[in-house]
Amino acid sequence: LFERPRFRKAAGISVVTPKEKAEVLSFVPDFGGPVAYIPNAVEVSPLDGYTWSPPASPKISYLGRFDIIHKGLDLFLEIARRAPQVEFHLYGPDDDASKKSKKLLMKSCSSNVFFHTAIFGAEKASVLANSTLYLQMSRWEGFPLSIAEAMYLGLPCAVASSTNFASLFEEHG
C-alpha cells in the first residue's frame, strides 16, 4: 500500500545483494530507474589482530536480534537439540522486544544453548575468532554484517538457503 508508490517515484534504488534486484523488479516491474547493487560496508579495524582459532570443543555462534521468526531462531534451536555435544551461543540486544522473544527461546531450548547480551569491538572479534562455526538460519535477510565479520576472521559460516545472500555463498564457494 505504501511501499510500491514510494518505489515507483524513486530516482534509483539500491540493494545489498544481487538477488534483491530481482525481488525489487518483481515488486515494481514498471520501474525505469537504476537499481544498483551496493553491498554493506564492513568496518574491519575492530577485527584486526584476530584470526580464527577454533576451540577444542565445538562452539557455534550467532550474533543478532532475538527475532524468532525472522532470524530463524526456532530452526537454530532445533539444530542445537539434535547436536547435544555442541555448544550453541546466541548474542543479542536486551531491548524490550528482544526480552520477550529471549524468554520464549530460553524456555524451549536444550541445555547446550547459551544466551548472552550483545557484544561489540574486541569482545565480538574474540567470540567470532574462538568459535567453530557461525550459523545464520534467517528466513529472509539482507546481508548481516556479523557474517562478513566472521568471514573476515576466517570463521566458517553456514547460512540458510532462504536468505538473499546465500546465492553469494554458492557463487563464491
Report pLDDT digits (tens) over 28-68.
999 999 999 888 888 899 999 999 999 999 999 999 999 99
Q: What is the pLDDT of residue 87?
A: 98
Gyration radius of the chain's alpha carbons: 18
Which contacts (CB < 8 Å, 24+ apart) does range 31-38 have?
A: 31/7, 36/12, 38/14
Q: Which three cell numbers stand for residue 23?
A: 525481488
pLDDT digits (tens, 9 = 90+) for 16-30: 888 888 888 999 999
Structure pTM?
A: 0.84
Q: Please report, as a single letter, which amino acid is at residue 90.
A: L
What pLDDT is recorded for position 132?
Answer: 98
Question: What is the pLDDT of the chain when averaged over all its residues?
Answer: 91
Q: Is 135 exposed, middle or buried (0-12, 13-18, 19+ CB in 10 A)?
A: buried
Q: At what angle do helices 73-82 and 96-108 cross, to 10 degrees?
A: 30
